[in-house]
Amino acid sequence: MPYIPKSQYTVQHTNGGELYDPVTGQEYRGEYIQYGQRYFAGNTILNLKVPLRKIDKEENIVLQNTRNFLYNQLNPKHYQRIKKRFKPVASKPRPTEKDYEKGEWKRYFCQRVNLLDNIIEMDSEGYKKLQSGEYDNVLYLGGEIMWSLKDPKLNNDNVLKLIRQYPGIQFFFNNPEEFVR
């Protein structure tokens, strides 16, 4: 290794939260060498074997576990794309008088694709945000159902039609008489 002047590197110490080992995914604690924009474990410039990476500090990000963290650090393009997506917001809209005059009303919902019992009802604005990608449309599958405001049997039939596409929906829309006058 060529000679590196002392002015080009610094030996520093971290108690954690700054660097991690990309091979193991473990947070690094101890002395490290900063050489330009590169970081190495240890305190001697003669042994630069373990390269380290800086932890990307975002205010709204909670590290789920080491594997997710490591994946996000090693795939920054994917991470930048998915961190802009948000969880859909649940709401319980009510039909208007105009809906009662028509006799039917469109209800919107979404289901988490990896948790079939996780269904969220939302308003039309939330559904539009899910369709446009503002809400996470990879993890949540959006749907809509025509809800009769006159005939509970029709509501039950509409729910049964959606069971194949949205397993467990019959437990979410379990009251066919809801909003019926």
- Within-domain flag for 129: yes
- Within-domain flag for 40: yes
Same domain, 56 and 119: no
Record the tokens describing residue 75, joined without a space: 């795939």
Same domain, 108 and 164: yes
Predicted pLDDT of residue 35: 87
Same domain, 11 and 76: yes
Domain of residue 55 covers 7-82
- Of 82, 112, 128, the last residue of a domain is 82
Residues of the chain with pLDDT under 70: 1-2, 57-65
Which amino acid is it at 179? F
Same domain, 101 and 164: yes
- Within-domain flag for 107: yes
Return the number of other C-beta atoms located less than 10 Å from residue 126's C-beta: 22
Burial class (CB in 10 A: 0-12, 13-18, 19+), 143: middle
Same domain, 107 and 69: no
- Within-domain flag for 181: no
Same domain, 156 and 103: yes
- Within-domain flag for 89: no
pLDDT tens per residue across span 9-21: 889 998 888 888 8
- Within-domain flag for 13: yes
29 φ, ψ (degrees, to nearest 5): -130, 135
Record the tokens describing residue 117, joined without a space: 């019992």
Same domain, 64 and 110: no
Closest alpha carbon to 69 in 13, 22, 33, 123: 22
Predicted pLDDT of residue 61: 45
Same domain, 130 and 72: no
pLDDT tens per residue across span 39-71: 999 888 887 878 898 887 654 444 456 777 788
Predicted pLDDT of residue 111: 94
- Within-domain flag for 92: no
Record the tokens describing residue 149, joined without a space: 């405001």
Same domain, 72 and 134: no
Same domain, 138 and 168: yes
pTM to 2 decimals? 0.60
The domain tally of the chain equals: 2
Q: 125-131 long-range contacts, Cβ below 8 Å, gap at least 24?
A: 126/88, 126/89, 126/91, 129/88, 130/88
Separation between Cα atoms, residue 175 and residue 170, nearest integer Å? 9
Residue in this structure with the two tokens 């080009």, named with its chain if needed: 8
Same domain, 51 and 111: no
Separation between Cα atoms, residue 137 and residue 144, nearest integer Å? 15
Degrees, nearest 5: CA angle 17-18-22 = 100
- Within-domain flag for 104: yes
- Of 37, 55, 82, the last residue of a domain is 82
